[in-house]
Structure 1
Amino acid sequence: MTIAIFDILRYLLTILWWLIIIQVVLSWLFAFNVLNTSSRGVLALSHALERITAPLYRPIRRLLPDFNGLDFSPLIVLILIQVLQMLLDGAERSLVYSTT
């Protein structure tokens, strides 16, 4: 049962990882005018991803200094996701070894 919980948490972190990557790539494509911002579907996807990721970025943006338009908060969130995955793996291993 506990292994299933760790798997679910790992899958959720992986999904969040990919949502952030997609959101960053979309923002770059908008910034370089590769994607048309008048496309309703692409714009709706971008807004949905922004609503999902903005609460994660907000506390980090408050702490980071201004880098003249560069936003490093997605990078920091991705690093934190990796750290959480490592902690989950370690906790899962310690639970598995302690029960055997």
Structure 2
Amino acid sequence: MKEGAVGLAIIQTLLYALGIYKFIVIGAIIFSWLYAFNVVNNSNQFVAMLGSFFYKATEPVLRPIRRFIPDLGGIDISPIVLFVIIYFVEQIIVNVLAPAIV
């Protein structure tokens, strides 16, 4: 296998992982809305486990972003900022790293 092929496989895997993480963030957003409006049963063990997963998967990334964003009166735009950061990282990978490997 050529070195360039291995590099492209790594790049594609990184892009795939970022895509999966975007879906996890979307799931966390939807779950937070459902939880806030009491649509889901708060005492259900599966709901608690799902909420714990979303919190542990997204909070370490969203917490530093929230420190730099001013308070907007209860509206959390940190996921939007995270999506912009992920898009920026994807563009760096595709436009800078991929051509350097090929």
Runs of 4 or more, structure 1, over 6 Å off, are none
Superposed displacement of residue 95, structure 1: 2.9
**After superposition, what is the alpha-carbon deviation per residue over 1:57-100, rounded to whole angstroms, capped at 9, x for unaligned?**
1111111111111111111111111111111111213432xxxx
What is the aligned residue count? 96
**Separation of aligned partners in 2, 1:6 and 1:89:** 8
Query: More deviation in 68-77 or 85-94?
Result: 85-94
Please, which runs of 5 or more residues in structure 2 have no aligned partner?
1-5
Is 1:92 matched with 2:98?
yes
- Aligned counterparts, 1:49-68, within 5 A: 49-68=54-73
Percent identity, aligned pairs only? Answer: 34
Q: TM-score, normalised by structure 1?
A: 0.89
2:88 match: 83
Please, which runs of 5 or more residues in structure 1 have no aligned partner?
none
**After superposition, what is the alpha-carbon deviation per residue over 1:11-42, rounded to whole angstroms, capped at 9, x for unaligned?**
11011111000000000111112111111101
Q: Which has the higher contact order (CA 8 A, sep 6+)?
A: 2
Give me the CA root mean square deviation: 1.1
Superposed displacement of residue 2, structure 1: 0.2
The one-letter code sitting in structure 2 at the alignment partner of 1:49 is: F
